[in-house]
Amino acid sequence: MNKVFEFLEKYLMGPMSIVSTWRPVRAIVAAGMASIPLTIVGSAFLVLSVIPQAFPLDFIADLWAATFDKFADLYLLAYKCTMGILSLYFAIVIGYEYTKIYAEEDGLEIDPMNGALLSVVAFFLTIPELKVTDGAIKALQVKDATINGWTVGGDSLTRLSTSGMFTAILMSILAVQLYRMCVARKWVIKMPEAVPEGVSRSFTALIPAFVVAFVVLLINGVFILLGTDIYKVIAIPFGFVTNIAMDVYYKSRQNFVCYNLF
């Protein structure tokens, strides 16, 4: 047993401790910690809808049909507005924390709130589905599924849910890096000292916002011309991780119900 712990400490714990100090990893960890209350709240309301599946008994099904199911569209909003758009929350927190780390450790005059907003913009630019039609790039239209490029799933906008997690992470990191680069190279609009600080910060982020939008649109445009987009390119290598995580989540959810009721 000691040899096993020695092996893990030498070949796993050591490298992992180094990785945990990386700035992007620290920002991702912060996003994961910040999302815990949201996932718990969303899961708690979702439990109400799966109890009949966890306990396939006629009297439970009849009870739920006469009570909770009548208000399912109402209380499931708590799930759809938490777990259903979890990638959006990740983009916000990663952008904020990653920018804050650079501001505190490198002394850069970058605002965490601007970093969060730029991350959201970068992420949202990857969400609509576009394709080349008749020599022009147009938004995808699929009746009852995709409207103006926005794909709607059973519980949420598909790309805002957990399936877009890795896209949100990478786009947030890219946005903050572009923001940091612009400020470090003085590609910003400097306002006079008499201008209020809040207004000055807004104009400081103006050029970085243009850069973020241009870079993400350019990259996405190239992929669209190749028959795909940023979201799909990222989802292919990381899709199996999301599928495994969701399988574990749904199974543990039913186990949670059984354990707490019996």
Q: For position 162, what pLDDT does the model report?
A: 82
Per the prediction, the chain carries an average pLDDT of 82
- Residue among 21, 162, 138 nearest 79 (CA): 162
Q: Which two tokens stand for residue 193?
A: 């000292």
Q: Is the Cβ–Cβ distance between 119 and 172 less than 8 Å?
A: yes
Indicate the number of domains in the chain: 1
In the predicted model, what is the mean pLDDT of residues 199-227?
A: 92
In the predicted model, what is the mean pLDDT of residues 186-204?
A: 83
Please say if the pLDDT value at position 82 is more than 50. yes
Q: Which of 79-83, 190-194, 253-257 has the lowest mean pLDDT?
A: 253-257
Q: Is the full-model pTM beyond 0.75? A: yes
Residue tagged 């059984």 (tokens): 258
Q: For position 123, what pLDDT does the model report?
A: 96
Domain carrying residue 125: 2-261
CB atoms within 10 A of CB 249: 13
Distances (CA, A) of 143 to 28, 114, 218, 224: 36, 37, 28, 21
The fraction of the chain above a pLDDT of 90, given in percent, is 39
- Read off the pLDDT of residues 129-153 as tens digits, 9 standing for 90 and up: 888 988 888 887 776 566 666 666 6
Please say if the pLDDT value at position 246 is more than 60. no
Q: For position 129, what pLDDT does the model report?
A: 87
